[in-house]
Amino acid sequence: MEQILNRIKDKIEIKISTKKRDDLYFFTVEKEQIEFILSYLKEQENFTHLAFMQAVDYLEDGKFQLTYMLYNYKIHINLGVNVLIDRKKAEMFSMHKLWPHIWQYQREIHELFGINFPGSPRVNESFVLEGWEEIPPMRRDFDTLEYSEKTFYQRPGRSTNDPKEYMKEKMYKNYADTPTIRREK
C-alpha cells in the first residue's frame, strides 16, 4: 500500500494522508484531480470496487466533504478518497462512467445534501423524499426537532422536572441569589 501511495504522490499532490488501520487508508485531494485519481486507482491500481460515496457537511467551514470509498480485491485494502468542495457552490463531477451504480449515491446526495452532479443519470428523481419543500434535510442547518414539532402532533400530558431546580424549589427556595458586582460604569 505504501508503494501505491508513493506512486500516487508522484502523480499528484496529496494534502492529507492518514492510515487508519492496516486495511484502511484515507487521503484528501483537490476537486479538479478527482476524476483523474479515481480512474487511475480503478484502472491501474485495482481499486475496482466502490463501496460507497457519501457527503459530510462542515457547516462551520462552509465545506462539504465527499468521500469515495474504494476497495482493492487483490490486496484487500480500503481506500477513502476525500474531496472538499465549497458549500455555496455545491457541485461535483459525476463519476457514473467509472462505476455505473454511483448514480444512485449521487441522486441521494443531491436530494439529501443538495449537491448537484451535472450529467448524472436520473439525478433529479426523488429518492426518499417525495414532495419535500424544506432545505435538504441532511444538511447540518436543518433542525430535525423544530421540523418534527412543526409537523407532528405531540400527545399532551407530559412534563418533566429537573432534579436541580426541583430540589431548590423544595429545599432552599429562599436562598439568596448571587449579588451582582457593582462595577464602575
Nearer to other proteins, 34 or 72 (CB): 72
Least distance between other proteins and beta carbon 28 (Å)? 11
- Who contacts 45 (Cβ-Cβ below 8 Å, separation ≥6)? 4, 7, 72
Nearer to other proteins, 10 or 119 (CB): 119
Nearer to other proteins, 36 or 73 (CB): 73
Least distance between other proteins and beta carbon 10 (Å)? 25
* Separation between Cα atoms, residue 78 and residue 4, nearest integer Å: 13
Bridge partner residues of 67 (DSSP): 54, 82
Least distance between other proteins and beta carbon 31 (Å)? 18
Residue type at position 116: N
Residue pair 53/109 in contact by the 8 Å Cβ criterion: yes
Nearer to other proteins, 33 or 67 (CB): 67
Least distance between other proteins and beta carbon 7 (Å)? 21
Number of C-beta neighbours around residue 66 at 10 A: 23
- Nearest 10 degrees: Cα torsion 131, 134, 137, 139: 140
Interface ranges with other proteins (CB under 8 A): 18, 20-21, 23-24, 26, 48-52, 54, 56-58, 65, 67, 69, 73, 76, 78, 80, 82, 99-101, 103-104, 121, 126-130, 137-138, 140, 142, 144-145, 155, 157-164, 166-168, 170-172, 174-185
